[in-house]
Amino acid sequence: MKKLLWSLTLFGVILIFPVNGVMEYDKMEKFTDFNGTNVYQTENNVKSKAKVTMVGLTLIKNAALRSAVCLDGSPGGYHFHPGSGSGAKNWLVHLEGGGWCSDTESCEYSKRTSHGSSKHMEKKIPFTGILSDKASENPDFYNWNRVKVRYCDGGSFMGDNENKDAKLQFRGKRIWTSVMSDLLSNGMEHAKQGLLSGCSAGGLAAIFQCEDFKSSLMSSTRVKCLSDAGFFVDATDVSGDRSLRQLYTDVIEFQSITNNLPNDCLNRLNPTSCFFPQNLINQVKTPLFILNAAYDSWQIQESLTSKSADPTGSWADCTFNLAKCNESQIMFFQEFRIHMVNLLGGFKEQRKNGVFLNSCFSHCQTESHDTWYSKNSPSVKNKRIAVAVGDWFFERGGAKIIDCAYPCDKTCRNLI
């Protein structure tokens, strides 16, 4: 049951709900509902359909032959919206997130959702935030070719195996290579600029696949990678244990991922450690941007105070409503933030890299207009996330941003 929750929480409930009054409902400009099919605009609390570009699902051709399949054996897929004008030769590839599955029960559960089967994927999804095609919502990337790769392997695009007895396919790696090969032959091989991004489990995947993305493109192409809410920390939870570490150990074993982890990490550390970005980011040669909330709401709820770490639920009031946290609980979060800041120390010193670590309780900030580039999106020193990412990509300067500690930031779109 605990494992079920892991897959349930990521991306069920995350995109939206403000609970502590920091973001009031009537201030929200747009939100995506749970399954991502409908986007509404709110004006004076009246819901109405907004004019958002909806982009159709492309299933990978000959997916079975290429083993580019979801957990249930159905074809993997992606959504593609073509670039135009000055962006016609630039490519943004964005990897969807959605937790991990680590045993028969949790992977069986995923098979009945879009995170394990293309049979359950929406045929069209809204392109918003970093995927938006409107200059007013996405100033630097709106006219690029934009791709969202669907996540249905439960292993951050890292597995390449199967479990015949359990009728499960672990083919994330094949999905990645097949989508890349199809995009390359559809024009991406001539890309002038390329950005690989991803959110949550997809943000972790963007770190894993960054060097591969770089080497698939011409050496003259400007290539960079952006990990949004993918900085999952190997942290001590409230019980003194490491519940996320246990989950990753199980995912790696169940999906036989060890051999696909980066060799230079495996030479130094054990496989589980090589699933944590803190042990990978300093070795990535391609310019990389780490965007994360310092008080990542998913990590607070599912790692620091997970069911196994807090079986009696004594933290639940606090982790679902910040206003109910006592001083020592807030102190615990402050220590988590300091840990994250320290882990980014060496990374931040490398000139090529970018960092935006804002002091919010949220998770995934590139995909929605509210957090990416709306006029009251989260910002640090008046710089919104879209601006920081653009400044880093185009080398306009000022893209190493670490916010002051909670509660100094009044621009957050907190989720708890």
Ligand X SMILES: *[C@@H]1O[C@H](CO)[C@@H](O)[C@H](O)[C@H]1NC(C)=O
Query: Which residues are near ligand X by CB under 6 A?
Result: 33, 35, 37, 122, 314-315, 326-329
Task: Evaluate whether 93 touches 194 at the Cβ level (below 8 Å).
Answer: yes
Residue among 283, 203, 301 nearest 244 (CA): 301
Find the catalytic residue in 74, 106, 132, 200: 200
Shortest distance (Å) from residue 333 CB to ligand X: 12
Minimum distance between the CB of residue 349 and ligand X, rounded to whole angstroms?
37
List of residues 6+ apart from 412 with CB closer than 8 A: 22, 23, 358, 359, 360, 361, 362, 378
- Pairing label, strands 77-81, 145-149: antiparallel
Q: Nearer Cβ to ligand X, position 45 or 328?
A: 328
Q: Which residues pair with 400 in a beta bridge?
A: 355
d(CA 186, CA 318): 49
| Least Cβ distance, residue 35 to ligand X (angstroms) | 4
Active site residue 200: yes
How many CB atoms are closer than 10 A to CB 345? 10
Residue 363 annotated to the active site: yes
Q: Return the number of the residue (57 or 184) whose C-beta is nearest ligand X.
A: 57
CB of 357: closest distance to ligand X in angstroms? 26
> Is 90 within 8 Å of 144 (Cβ atoms)?
yes
**Active-site residue among 81, 94, 363, 369?**
363
Residue 407 preceded by cis peptide, ω within 30: yes
CA angle 305, 307, 312 (to 5 degrees): 90
For residues 86 and 314, which CB has a smaller minimum distance to ligand X in the complex? 314
Angle, in degrees to the nearest 10, between helices 2-12 and 104-111: 40
Closer CB to ligand X, residue 241 or residue 395? 241
In degrees rounded to 5, what are phi and psi of residue 77? -155, 170
Query: Which residue of the set 228, 250, 296, 370 is catalytic?
Result: 296
Closest separation in Å from C-beta 365 to ligand X: 23
Q: Least distance from C-beta 329 to ligand X, angstroms?
A: 5
Q: Are 254 and 6 in contact (CB under 8 A)?
A: no
For 160, half-sphere exposure in the C-beta direction (CA atoms, 13 angstrom radius) is: 14
Q: How far apart are CA 90 and CA 70, in angstroms?
A: 28
Please report how close the Cβ of residue 315 comes to ligand X at its closest, in angstroms.
6
Backbone φ and ψ of 102, nearest 5°: -130, 0
- CB nearer to ligand X: give 158 or 304: 304
Name the residue nearer to ligand X (CB basis): 49 or 351.
49
| Nearer of residues 184 and 330 to ligand X, judged by Cβ | 330
Separation of alpha carbons 342 and 355, rounded Å: 13
Find the distance separating the first CA and the last CA of the chain, reported in whole Å. 23
Task: State which residue, 36 or 202, has the beta carbon closest to ligand X.
Answer: 36
Question: 215: burial class by Cβ within 10 Å (0-12, 13-18, 19+)?
Answer: exposed
Length of the chain, in residues: 416
CB 15 within 8 A of CB 368: yes
In angstroms, what is the minimal distance from the CB of 61 to ligand X?
23
Q: How far is 344 from 227, CA to CA, in rounded Å? A: 13
- Is 110 an active-site residue? no
Catalytic residues: 200, 296, 363
